[in-house]
Amino acid sequence: MPSSDKALAEPYWVEEMKAVHSIFSGTPGNIARFGDSITYSSASFKPLRYDFTNRTPEDAFAQEWLQSYITPVSWTWQDDAVAESNGNYSSKTAAWPLQTDQNPPMTNIQHWLQKLKPELAVVMWGTNDLSSYDVTTYTNNMRQTLQAIKDNGTIPLLSTIPPRRNYESKSALFAQAMRDLSAELLIPLIDFNQEILTRQPGTAWDGTLISNDGVHPSYNKSTSMDFSESTLNSNGYVLRNYLSLHGLFEIYNEILNPRLPGDFNGDEIVDDSDLPYWQAGYGLDASGDADNDNDTDGKDFLIWQRNVQSGPSTALTAIPEPSTAIVGIIYAIGILARRSFRERRTTTFISKQITRFSCVDFLSD
Protein backbone atom coordinates (compact mmCIF):
# COMPACT_ATOMS: atom_id res chain seq x y z
CA MET A 1 0.00 0.00 0.00
CA PRO A 2 1.43 3.43 -0.88
CA SER A 3 2.37 5.53 2.12
CA SER A 4 -0.39 8.04 1.35
CA ASP A 5 -2.93 5.22 1.69
CA LYS A 6 -1.34 3.80 4.84
CA ALA A 7 -1.68 7.19 6.51
CA LEU A 8 -5.47 6.81 6.44
CA ALA A 9 -5.39 3.28 7.85
CA GLU A 10 -5.96 2.52 11.51
CA PRO A 11 -3.10 4.02 13.52
CA TYR A 12 -0.38 1.60 14.64
CA TRP A 13 -1.04 2.42 18.30
CA VAL A 14 -4.78 1.71 18.50
CA GLU A 15 -4.81 -1.94 19.52
CA GLU A 16 -2.07 -1.44 22.13
CA MET A 17 -3.84 1.57 23.63
CA LYS A 18 -7.11 -0.35 23.75
CA ALA A 19 -5.29 -2.99 25.79
CA VAL A 20 -3.82 -0.31 28.06
CA HIS A 21 -7.22 1.29 28.61
CA SER A 22 -8.77 -2.09 29.41
CA ILE A 23 -6.89 -2.11 32.74
CA PHE A 24 -7.69 1.53 33.56
CA SER A 25 -9.17 1.95 37.04
CA GLY A 26 -8.79 5.69 37.54
CA THR A 27 -11.15 8.59 36.88
CA PRO A 28 -12.56 8.96 33.34
CA GLY A 29 -11.89 12.45 32.01
CA ASN A 30 -8.83 13.09 34.16
CA ILE A 31 -6.12 14.41 31.82
CA ALA A 32 -2.60 14.92 33.20
CA ARG A 33 0.18 17.02 31.69
CA PHE A 34 3.71 15.90 32.48
CA GLY A 35 6.76 17.97 31.54
CA ASP A 36 9.09 20.87 32.21
CA SER A 37 8.65 24.66 31.96
CA ILE A 38 7.10 24.38 28.51
CA THR A 39 4.25 22.48 30.14
CA TYR A 40 4.30 24.43 33.39
CA SER A 41 2.88 27.57 31.84
CA SER A 42 -0.48 29.32 31.82
CA ALA A 43 -0.08 29.50 28.06
CA SER A 44 -0.02 25.70 27.78
CA PHE A 45 -3.23 23.67 27.63
CA LYS A 46 -5.27 25.76 30.09
CA PRO A 47 -6.51 28.22 27.41
CA LEU A 48 -8.37 25.30 25.79
CA ARG A 49 -10.95 25.76 28.53
CA TYR A 50 -12.25 28.75 26.55
CA ASP A 51 -13.46 28.94 22.96
CA PHE A 52 -10.95 30.07 20.36
CA THR A 53 -11.71 32.29 17.40
CA ASN A 54 -11.22 31.26 13.76
CA ARG A 55 -12.06 27.64 14.52
CA THR A 56 -12.87 25.20 11.78
CA PRO A 57 -15.90 22.97 12.42
CA GLU A 58 -13.43 20.23 13.37
CA ASP A 59 -11.67 22.56 15.82
CA ALA A 60 -15.00 23.55 17.39
CA PHE A 61 -16.16 19.96 17.72
CA ALA A 62 -12.86 18.92 19.32
CA GLN A 63 -12.95 21.82 21.77
CA GLU A 64 -16.56 21.18 22.71
CA TRP A 65 -15.65 17.56 23.35
CA LEU A 66 -12.66 18.44 25.56
CA GLN A 67 -14.58 21.02 27.57
CA SER A 68 -17.37 18.54 28.26
CA TYR A 69 -15.13 15.49 28.79
CA ILE A 70 -12.29 16.70 31.01
CA THR A 71 -12.93 16.76 34.75
CA PRO A 72 -12.94 20.31 36.23
CA VAL A 73 -10.09 19.52 38.63
CA SER A 74 -7.83 18.59 35.70
CA TRP A 75 -7.69 22.22 34.58
CA THR A 76 -6.00 23.19 37.87
CA TRP A 77 -3.07 20.77 37.71
CA GLN A 78 -0.68 23.39 36.30
CA ASP A 79 -1.52 26.04 38.90
CA ASP A 80 1.53 27.41 40.70
CA ALA A 81 0.75 25.92 44.10
CA VAL A 82 0.34 22.34 42.88
CA ALA A 83 2.13 22.00 39.54
CA GLU A 84 5.37 20.48 40.84
CA SER A 85 3.46 17.85 42.82
CA ASN A 86 1.46 17.05 39.68
CA GLY A 87 4.42 16.36 37.39
CA ASN A 88 5.08 19.61 35.56
CA TYR A 89 7.68 22.17 36.59
CA SER A 90 10.53 24.34 35.33
CA SER A 91 14.07 23.06 34.74
CA LYS A 92 13.11 19.38 35.02
CA THR A 93 14.58 16.61 32.88
CA ALA A 94 13.34 13.15 31.91
CA ALA A 95 15.19 11.80 34.97
CA TRP A 96 12.78 13.61 37.31
CA PRO A 97 9.80 11.23 37.01
CA LEU A 98 12.08 8.30 37.90
CA GLN A 99 13.50 9.87 41.06
CA THR A 100 12.20 8.64 44.42
CA ASP A 101 11.28 11.90 46.14
CA GLN A 102 8.20 10.44 47.83
CA ASN A 103 7.44 9.07 51.27
CA PRO A 104 6.88 6.15 51.35
CA PRO A 105 9.56 5.64 48.68
CA MET A 106 8.25 5.36 45.14
CA THR A 107 9.12 6.98 41.86
CA ASN A 108 7.64 10.38 41.16
CA ILE A 109 5.72 9.07 38.16
CA GLN A 110 4.13 6.35 40.31
CA HIS A 111 3.13 8.97 42.86
CA TRP A 112 1.61 11.30 40.25
CA LEU A 113 -0.34 8.46 38.68
CA GLN A 114 -1.70 7.29 42.02
CA LYS A 115 -2.62 10.85 42.99
CA LEU A 116 -4.13 12.10 39.72
CA LYS A 117 -5.65 8.84 38.45
CA PRO A 118 -5.45 10.10 34.85
CA GLU A 119 -7.14 8.45 31.93
CA LEU A 120 -4.90 10.35 29.49
CA ALA A 121 -1.54 12.07 29.91
CA VAL A 122 0.25 14.51 27.59
CA VAL A 123 3.99 13.90 28.05
CA MET A 124 6.95 16.03 26.93
CA TRP A 125 10.36 16.15 28.59
CA GLY A 126 13.67 16.68 26.85
CA THR A 127 14.46 20.36 26.35
CA ASN A 128 16.53 20.52 29.56
CA ASP A 129 18.04 17.10 28.82
CA LEU A 130 19.78 18.58 25.77
CA SER A 131 22.42 20.16 27.99
CA SER A 132 22.63 17.29 30.48
CA TYR A 133 22.26 13.89 28.82
CA ASP A 134 23.05 11.98 25.68
CA VAL A 135 20.27 10.63 23.51
CA THR A 136 20.60 7.07 24.88
CA THR A 137 20.16 8.14 28.50
CA TYR A 138 17.28 10.42 27.56
CA THR A 139 15.55 7.64 25.64
CA ASN A 140 15.99 5.10 28.43
CA ASN A 141 14.51 7.51 30.97
CA MET A 142 11.55 8.25 28.73
CA ARG A 143 11.02 4.55 28.04
CA GLN A 144 10.73 3.75 31.75
CA THR A 145 8.36 6.65 32.37
CA LEU A 146 6.09 5.84 29.44
CA GLN A 147 5.99 2.17 30.38
CA ALA A 148 4.96 3.11 33.93
CA ILE A 149 2.15 5.23 32.50
CA LYS A 150 0.98 2.33 30.34
CA ASP A 151 1.18 -0.11 33.24
CA ASN A 152 -1.14 2.21 35.17
CA GLY A 153 -3.80 1.88 32.47
CA THR A 154 -3.26 5.50 31.42
CA ILE A 155 -2.93 6.34 27.73
CA PRO A 156 0.16 8.52 27.14
CA LEU A 157 0.20 11.11 24.36
CA LEU A 158 3.91 11.65 23.74
CA SER A 159 5.23 14.85 22.15
CA THR A 160 8.61 15.54 20.60
CA ILE A 161 10.42 18.59 21.93
CA PRO A 162 10.63 21.81 19.90
CA PRO A 163 13.92 22.78 18.25
CA ARG A 164 16.26 24.76 20.50
CA ARG A 165 18.78 27.43 19.55
CA ASN A 166 22.39 26.16 19.68
CA TYR A 167 21.08 22.60 20.00
CA GLU A 168 19.51 22.23 16.58
CA SER A 169 21.20 18.93 15.68
CA LYS A 170 20.77 17.36 19.11
CA SER A 171 17.12 18.36 19.39
CA ALA A 172 16.56 16.68 16.02
CA LEU A 173 18.18 13.50 17.41
CA PHE A 174 15.97 13.68 20.49
CA ALA A 175 12.88 14.12 18.33
CA GLN A 176 13.79 11.10 16.22
CA ALA A 177 14.41 9.09 19.37
CA MET A 178 10.84 9.78 20.49
CA ARG A 179 9.47 8.74 17.08
CA ASP A 180 11.37 5.49 17.44
CA LEU A 181 10.18 5.04 21.02
CA SER A 182 6.59 5.68 19.94
CA ALA A 183 6.93 2.86 17.44
CA GLU A 184 8.59 0.57 19.98
CA LEU A 185 5.99 1.09 22.72
CA LEU A 186 3.07 1.52 20.31
CA ILE A 187 1.94 4.81 21.82
CA PRO A 188 0.46 7.87 20.10
CA LEU A 189 2.86 10.64 19.18
CA ILE A 190 2.48 14.32 18.29
CA ASP A 191 5.54 15.54 16.44
CA PHE A 192 5.71 19.12 17.70
CA ASN A 193 9.29 19.36 16.47
CA GLN A 194 8.48 18.52 12.86
CA GLU A 195 5.35 20.65 12.82
CA ILE A 196 7.42 23.69 13.82
CA LEU A 197 10.03 22.92 11.16
CA THR A 198 7.32 22.42 8.53
CA ARG A 199 5.68 25.77 9.31
CA GLN A 200 8.96 27.66 9.79
CA PRO A 201 11.71 25.83 7.84
CA GLY A 202 15.43 26.10 8.44
CA THR A 203 15.96 28.39 11.41
CA ALA A 204 12.96 30.60 10.68
CA TRP A 205 11.32 29.14 13.80
CA ASP A 206 13.78 31.06 15.98
CA GLY A 207 11.93 34.23 16.92
CA THR A 208 8.62 33.13 15.40
CA LEU A 209 7.31 29.85 16.82
CA ILE A 210 10.14 29.80 19.36
CA SER A 211 10.54 32.89 21.52
CA ASN A 212 13.53 35.19 21.62
CA ASP A 213 15.13 33.08 24.37
CA GLY A 214 15.60 30.32 21.78
CA VAL A 215 14.02 27.70 24.07
CA HIS A 216 10.34 28.20 24.86
CA PRO A 217 7.45 28.36 22.41
CA SER A 218 6.52 31.93 21.59
CA TYR A 219 3.47 33.63 23.06
CA ASN A 220 1.55 36.68 21.89
CA LYS A 221 -1.36 37.60 24.14
CA SER A 222 -3.23 39.35 21.32
CA THR A 223 -3.43 36.08 19.34
CA SER A 224 -3.47 33.65 22.26
CA MET A 225 -7.08 32.58 21.64
CA ASP A 226 -6.94 32.31 17.85
CA PHE A 227 -6.68 29.21 15.66
CA SER A 228 -6.08 31.00 12.36
CA GLU A 229 -3.26 29.75 10.15
CA SER A 230 -1.30 32.96 10.64
CA THR A 231 -1.38 32.42 14.41
CA LEU A 232 -0.46 28.76 14.11
CA ASN A 233 2.58 29.91 12.10
CA SER A 234 3.68 32.47 14.66
CA ASN A 235 2.43 31.64 18.17
CA GLY A 236 4.23 28.57 19.49
CA TYR A 237 2.04 27.97 22.52
CA VAL A 238 -1.15 28.22 20.48
CA LEU A 239 0.33 25.69 18.05
CA ARG A 240 1.09 23.30 20.90
CA ASN A 241 -2.42 23.71 22.30
CA TYR A 242 -3.91 23.12 18.87
CA LEU A 243 -1.96 19.91 18.38
CA SER A 244 -2.65 18.68 21.92
CA LEU A 245 -6.37 19.32 21.49
CA HIS A 246 -6.64 17.38 18.28
CA GLY A 247 -4.29 14.65 19.49
CA LEU A 248 -6.43 14.01 22.55
CA PHE A 249 -9.59 14.13 20.45
CA GLU A 250 -8.11 11.58 18.06
CA ILE A 251 -7.39 9.22 20.96
CA TYR A 252 -10.96 9.71 22.15
CA ASN A 253 -12.34 8.83 18.73
CA GLU A 254 -10.08 5.81 18.28
CA ILE A 255 -10.18 4.38 21.81
CA LEU A 256 -12.72 5.92 24.16
CA ASN A 257 -15.70 6.72 21.98
CA PRO A 258 -18.19 3.86 21.45
CA ARG A 259 -18.82 4.73 17.83
CA LEU A 260 -22.18 4.18 16.20
CA PRO A 261 -22.10 1.75 13.24
CA GLY A 262 -21.55 3.96 10.21
CA ASP A 263 -20.11 6.90 12.16
CA PHE A 264 -16.82 6.76 10.30
CA ASN A 265 -15.64 10.28 11.21
CA GLY A 266 -16.43 9.96 14.93
CA ASP A 267 -18.73 12.97 15.29
CA GLU A 268 -21.41 10.80 16.97
CA ILE A 269 -23.81 11.23 14.03
CA VAL A 270 -24.28 8.92 11.06
CA ASP A 271 -24.78 11.27 8.13
CA ASP A 272 -23.48 12.34 4.73
CA SER A 273 -20.16 13.49 6.18
CA ASP A 274 -19.24 9.86 6.95
CA LEU A 275 -19.51 8.69 3.35
CA PRO A 276 -16.13 10.10 2.17
CA TYR A 277 -14.40 7.97 4.82
CA TRP A 278 -16.13 4.85 3.49
CA GLN A 279 -15.29 5.82 -0.08
CA ALA A 280 -11.69 6.55 0.85
CA GLY A 281 -11.21 3.18 2.54
CA TYR A 282 -13.13 0.95 0.14
CA GLY A 283 -11.07 -2.16 -0.56
CA LEU A 284 -8.00 -0.65 1.05
CA ASP A 285 -8.30 -0.35 4.83
CA ALA A 286 -10.74 -0.07 7.75
CA SER A 287 -11.55 3.65 7.42
CA GLY A 288 -15.17 2.74 6.66
CA ASP A 289 -15.51 -0.42 8.75
CA ALA A 290 -19.00 -0.61 10.31
CA ASP A 291 -19.25 -4.36 10.99
CA ASN A 292 -15.91 -4.79 12.81
CA ASP A 293 -14.37 -7.15 10.28
CA ASN A 294 -11.35 -4.84 9.78
CA ASP A 295 -12.05 -3.87 6.18
CA THR A 296 -14.21 -1.49 4.18
CA ASP A 297 -16.65 -3.05 1.72
CA GLY A 298 -20.24 -3.00 0.48
CA LYS A 299 -21.61 -4.45 3.72
CA ASP A 300 -20.26 -1.46 5.60
CA PHE A 301 -21.99 0.85 3.13
CA LEU A 302 -25.32 -0.87 3.74
CA ILE A 303 -24.90 -0.42 7.50
CA TRP A 304 -24.21 3.27 6.94
CA GLN A 305 -27.26 3.45 4.66
CA ARG A 306 -29.53 1.92 7.30
CA ASN A 307 -28.27 4.22 10.07
CA VAL A 308 -27.84 7.50 8.18
CA GLN A 309 -29.72 10.34 9.85
CA SER A 310 -30.36 12.55 6.85
CA GLY A 311 -31.84 9.94 4.52
CA PRO A 312 -30.62 8.77 1.10
CA SER A 313 -28.29 11.25 -0.53
CA THR A 314 -26.49 9.43 -3.31
CA ALA A 315 -27.29 7.18 -6.21
CA LEU A 316 -25.45 4.42 -4.41
CA THR A 317 -28.14 4.13 -1.72
CA ALA A 318 -30.35 2.16 -4.09
CA ILE A 319 -28.18 -0.96 -4.08
CA PRO A 320 -29.21 -3.82 -1.77
CA GLU A 321 -25.80 -5.50 -2.09
CA PRO A 322 -23.22 -4.24 -4.57
CA SER A 323 -22.91 -6.34 -7.71
CA THR A 324 -19.53 -6.94 -9.30
CA ALA A 325 -20.05 -4.08 -11.74
CA ILE A 326 -21.22 -1.71 -9.06
CA VAL A 327 -18.33 -2.72 -6.84
CA GLY A 328 -15.97 -1.67 -9.59
CA ILE A 329 -17.68 1.70 -9.90
CA ILE A 330 -17.68 2.21 -6.13
CA TYR A 331 -14.04 1.19 -5.95
CA ALA A 332 -13.13 3.76 -8.59
CA ILE A 333 -15.10 6.42 -6.75
CA GLY A 334 -13.34 5.40 -3.57
CA ILE A 335 -9.91 5.78 -5.12
CA LEU A 336 -10.72 9.24 -6.45
CA ALA A 337 -12.38 10.27 -3.22
CA ARG A 338 -9.43 8.93 -1.27
CA ARG A 339 -7.00 11.06 -3.25
CA SER A 340 -9.15 14.16 -2.89
CA PHE A 341 -9.78 13.46 0.78
CA ARG A 342 -6.09 12.91 1.46
CA GLU A 343 -5.17 16.17 -0.23
CA ARG A 344 -7.46 18.06 2.14
CA ARG A 345 -5.96 16.39 5.21
CA THR A 346 -2.72 18.36 5.37
CA THR A 347 -2.24 17.69 9.08
CA THR A 348 -2.45 14.34 10.86
CA PHE A 349 -2.46 15.18 14.53
CA ILE A 350 -1.17 11.84 15.79
CA SER A 351 1.11 9.56 13.84
CA LYS A 352 -0.71 6.90 11.83
CA GLN A 353 2.55 5.13 11.07
CA ILE A 354 6.23 5.52 11.85
CA THR A 355 8.93 5.88 9.21
CA ARG A 356 12.47 5.58 10.52
CA PHE A 357 14.06 7.95 8.03
CA SER A 358 11.63 10.85 8.34
CA CYS A 359 8.71 12.23 10.30
CA VAL A 360 5.31 11.21 9.02
CA ASP A 361 3.18 12.62 11.81
CA PHE A 362 2.35 15.81 9.94
CA LEU A 363 3.59 14.90 6.50
CA SER A 364 1.62 16.08 3.51
CA ASP A 365 2.10 13.49 0.76
Name the more confident of 286 and 202. 202
Return the pLDDT at 351: 64
Name the more confident of 333 and 56. 56
CB atoms within 10 A of CB 322: 19
CA atoms of 79 and 77, how far apart (whole Å): 6
Contacts of 126 (CB under 8 A, 6+ apart): 93, 94, 138, 142, 160, 161, 171, 174, 178
Which tens digits make up the pLDDT trace of 62-72? 999 999 999 99
Return the pLDDT at 355: 41
Whether the per-residue pLDDT at 1 is higher than 50: the answer is: no
Return the pLDDT at 154: 98
Name the more confident of 268 and 69. 69
Return the pLDDT at 265: 82
CA atoms of 169 and 147, how far apart (whole Å): 27
Residue 360: pLDDT band (50, 70, 90) is very low
Contacts of 47 (CB under 8 A, 6+ apart): 224, 225, 238, 241
Return the pLDDT at 208: 98
Return the pLDDT at 152: 98
Strand partners, 156: 121
Whether the per-residue pLDDT at 354 is higher than 60: the answer is: no
Return the pLDDT at 349: 66
Q: First and final CA of the chain: distance in angstroms? A: 14
CB atoms within 10 A of CB 333: 16
Whole-prediction pTM: 0.76
Specify the range with the lowest mean pLDDT, choosing from 36-50, 96-110, 146-160, 275-289: 275-289
Return the pLDDT at 248: 97
CA atoms of 179 and 182, how far apart (whole Å): 5
Whether the per-residue pLDDT at 27 is higher than 50: the answer is: yes
Whether the per-residue pLDDT at 15 is higher than 70: the answer is: yes
Query: What is the helix (H) or strand (E) element at residue 32, kind and residue range?
Result: strand 31-35
Return the pLDDT at 264: 85
CA atoms of 266 and 261, how far apart (whole Å): 10
Which tens digits make up the pLDDT trace of 302-325? 888 888 874 434 434 333 444 444
Asked whether the beta carbons of 75 and 49 are under 8 A apart, the reply is: yes
Which tens digits make up the pLDDT trace of 121-139? 999 999 999 999 999 999 9
Return the pLDDT at 289: 85
Q: Any idea of the CA torsion for 193, 58, 61, 64, to the nearest 10 degrees?
A: 40
Q: What is the mean pLDDT of residues 34-61?
A: 97
**In this structure, which amino acid lies at residue 316?**
L
Name the more confident of 197 and 304. 197
Give residue 92's Cα distance to chain centre: 23
Specify the range with the lowest mean pLDDT, choosing from 179-183, 282-286, 330-334: 330-334
Which tens digits make up the pLDDT trace of 202-261? 999 999 999 999 999 999 999 999 999 999 999 999 999 999 999 999 999 899 987 778
Mean confidence (pLDDT) of the chain: 85
